[in-house]
Amino acid sequence: MAAPRPGKLISWDEAHEKANALISQMSIEQKVGLATGQGWEKTLCVGQTFESKNPDFPSLCLQDGPLGIRWADNVTAGVSGITAAASWDKDLLYKRGEYMGVEYRAKGVHMALGPCVDIMRSPRGGRGWEGFGEDPYLQGVAGSLTVEAIQNQNVIAVPKHYILNNQETNRKNSSSNADHRTLNEVYVWPYARMIEAGLGGVMCSYNQLDGTWACEDEYILNTVLKEQLNFRGLIMTDWGAQMSNEPSANAGLDMTMPGDIVMGDGYSWWGANLTQAVKDGKVSEERVDDMAQRIAAAHYRMGQDKNFPPIAIKSWDRENAPEVIVPTLDKHAKITRDIGAAAVIVLENDGILPLTKDAKKIALIGSDAGPIPQGLNGCPDQSCAAGHLAMGWGSGTADFPYLITPVDGITDRAGDDVEVTTTFDDWDLDTAKQVATEADVAIVFAMADSGEEYIEIDGNVGDRKNMSLWHNGDNLIQAVADANENVIVVINAVGAVLMPWIDHENIKAVVWPGLAGQESGNALADVLFGDVNPSGRLPFTIAKNEEDYGATIGTEFDVEYTEKLEVGYKHFDAHDIEPLFAFGHGLSYSTFEYSKLKVKANSKKGTASARIEVRNTGEIDGAEVAQAYLEFPKDVGAPPKQLRGFEKVLLKAGKKTKVKFEFTTIDLSYFDEDSESWVLAKGEFKVHVGASSRDIRQSATFTL
């Protein structure tokens, strides 16, 4: 059965008017019911609020996650956030969010728990792969497009984890400490952009901030979100992240999930306890009115009161869930393959790619090329960490309807004229060498995995314990490179890895397909064989050494954000450290030339713009990602340069186009801690436009 078509969204003003009319008829108990989850494993969805009768308001269904629907069948297991970001493709980012919204709505899910916009502060952070990388601007663009697309399908998007939840280590027993400028310029930035896009919900995180739990921190909930950013939706807890009754209510929390104090214990901070707190005068009834109104307003704004499908999920009883087949699943699979191919990053290529007809025998070596030994969806929340890696582990996963491995995709594309040989044993280096020696081209696969801290794999408690490849990957690559002169290294990883073999003369290409979901092998084959000209770009920095990064995983209670604004490439720039592969880097089978950079500034409006000409000087059609970085006036104390614009342009061979970047007032501002506000920077700016953060082609100045 197919769900009815989505309806139109209404304005926040209209939505709050409708919500106010509803809650004015409610008892205190009914209003509290909207704000309280029914409890863990007691509902159809991972979280559900209480239903209200007379006046009528439904029990709202909340379900993970950022890449697709968790614990559901007949859904798409798409590319992870980090791989979507690697596409740098605004159109595909929107289409990805759109198909997720279609699927959530069809299953009767009111709130999609995503996207994840946790900044990749450290490459070893366990859930960095769920978000969009190390840069707040890129996170803001990708997050806003995802939110807009999901909500246009009548589903409330709930980005997470707000805020400074950038590691899994001690996530429920640590305090992330950052100054207000760092907090706002780096970590709040994506939320601000999503609020501008009409965001309905925000999920607060497990950690503390300067010793206060995130879900009862009045500064980040009331002051920043609701006052400074005029957020009109609801704030909910992460599952089990509420730590108090009155303090969280008075600090601005609107919904507790899944409702229990400890998940599954049957007790709640809210429910009857919140009702009593109101009666005792510890929480005002106006505050509870505000909670209920925000929740109802998000529901009304997304048009969920008209023809919204019934809940078709049974998280704890999958076999008896109603069968809802989304009629457009084939189209969603194609979008997944398209974005997977657009996100393949060619880090190095010594002319071996695309593969030619000369490659009559191709060896595929490494377990990451093949099937998951435990079977498809054979481990809880994708925690097998064996076979082909197409997503990390944890609550931000979905079940694969199928998985096209690299062996599947490459064998299918190579056709009958090419012999494909394989070995999936990462530890049998003699066999790997033998198979490699006999091939024209040897493609060696390796991976590195991470996820959420409730699952530990080989000592990796969510966060990676180091940056090395898993399953003997470095030794396997070295052995294959010693045995064959035409080696291509393919890495499926959650984030940056160390590459001690990078200078081996026989390694002719390094390819980074990321975590590409169910169509992974097809997307990779599309690029290897030249059916798609690669245009993926790194959404994070790959360093030569782990100590080159500005931040690491904190093991003490206090996690000090001493790097401040210098996250990712900004640290490398500020300290003149040469990365192995720079943020924004990625090669094409074509070449592109930049010229005629022109900038304009409007001091009155506090805006600026830049235009540049990009020409495809290669022999084949391809896409270039033109990136604009701003260098702020010196007295502002900003990092050396900051991403403030990007456009992916598809150009036929020999053709050119003009690319325009618009810099808004917020793009040209910094957060002033004295006034607790954003201030337009005054003085000389420099615009740097190029193909990566370290491949700047043209620069120009303007003054505000």
Q: Which residue has the tokens 């009857």?
A: 272
> What is the percent of the chain with per-residue pLDDT over 90, rounded to a whole number?
99
Name the strands in the sheet holding 419-423, side by side, starting at the edge strand that comes first in the sequence. 345-349, 507-512, 487-493, 441-448, 361-365, 419-423
- Given a cut of 50, whether residue 501 has pLDDT beyond it is yes
One-letter amino acid at 146 equals: T
For the stretch 410-443, pLDDT in tens is: 999 999 999 999 999 999 999 999 999 999 999 9
- Given a cut of 50, whether residue 2 has pLDDT beyond it is no
pLDDT on residue 4: 57
- Given a cut of 50, whether residue 1 has pLDDT beyond it is no
Yes or no: say if 489 and 509 are a contact pair by the CB < 8 Å rule: yes
Alpha helices, DSSP H only, in 499-545?
A: 520-528
User: How far is it, in rounded angstroms, from Cα 106 to Cα 117?
Assistant: 25
- Given a cut of 50, whether residue 259 has pLDDT beyond it is yes
> What is the percent of the chain with per-residue pLDDT over 70, rounded to a whole number?
99
- Given a cut of 60, whether residue 26 has pLDDT beyond it is yes
Q: What is the mean pLDDT of the chain?
A: 97
Q: Which residue has the tokens 């959420």?
A: 452
DSSP letter string, 577-598: PPPSB-TT--B-SS-EEEEEEE
Inter-axis angle of helices 329-342 and 520-528, to 10 degrees?
A: 50
DSSP state of 541: P
Q: Which residue has the tokens 């899910």?
A: 109
- Other Cβ atoms closer than 10 A to 679: 13
- Three-state SS for 625? strand
User: How far is it, in rounded angstroms, from Cα 523 to Cα 532?
Assistant: 9
Please give the C-alpha separations between residue 115 and each of 171, 478, 513, 583, 602, in angstroms, as whole numbers. 19, 38, 21, 22, 34
DSSP letter string, 79-119: --HHHHHHTT-HHHHHHHHHHHHHHHHHTT-SEEE--B---
Catalytic positions, please? 238
User: How far is it, in rounded angstroms, from Cα 476 to Cα 453?
Assistant: 28
CA atoms 449, 453, 455, 457: torsion sign: positive
3-state secondary structure labels for all residues of 414-430: HCCCCEEEEECCCCCHH
One-letter amino acid at 70 equals: R
Tokens of 420: 């494909």
**Cis ω for the linkage preceding 332 (within 30 of 0):** no
Tell if the pTM clears 0.85, that is, is over it.
yes
pLDDT on residue 7: 75
User: How far is it, in rounded angstroms, from Cα 75 to Cα 62?
Assistant: 16
For the stretch 69-98, pLDDT in tens is: 999 999 999 999 999 999 999 999 999 999
What mean pLDDT do residues 445-465 have?
98
For the stretch 598-614, pLDDT in tens is: 999 999 999 999 999 99
- The gap between the terminal CA atoms of the chain, to the nearest Å, is 58
For the stretch 362-379, pLDDT in tens is: 999 999 999 999 999 999
What mean pLDDT do residues 116-131 have?
98
Long-range contacts of 275-279, Cβ-Cβ distance < 8 Å, separation of 24 or more: 275/28, 275/29, 275/32, 277/245, 277/246, 277/249, 278/28, 279/28
One-letter amino acid at 553 equals: I
For the stretch 630-682, pLDDT in tens is: 999 999 999 999 999 999 999 999 999 999 999 999 999 999 999 999 999 99
Q: Band of the pLDDT at 171, cuts 50, 70, 90?
A: very high
User: How far is it, in rounded angstroms, from Cα 341 to Cα 86?
Assistant: 10
pLDDT on residue 353: 98
One-letter amino acid at 3 equals: A
For the stretch 549-559, pLDDT in tens is: 999 999 999 99
User: How far is it, in rounded angstroms, from Cα 79 to Cα 459?
Assistant: 26
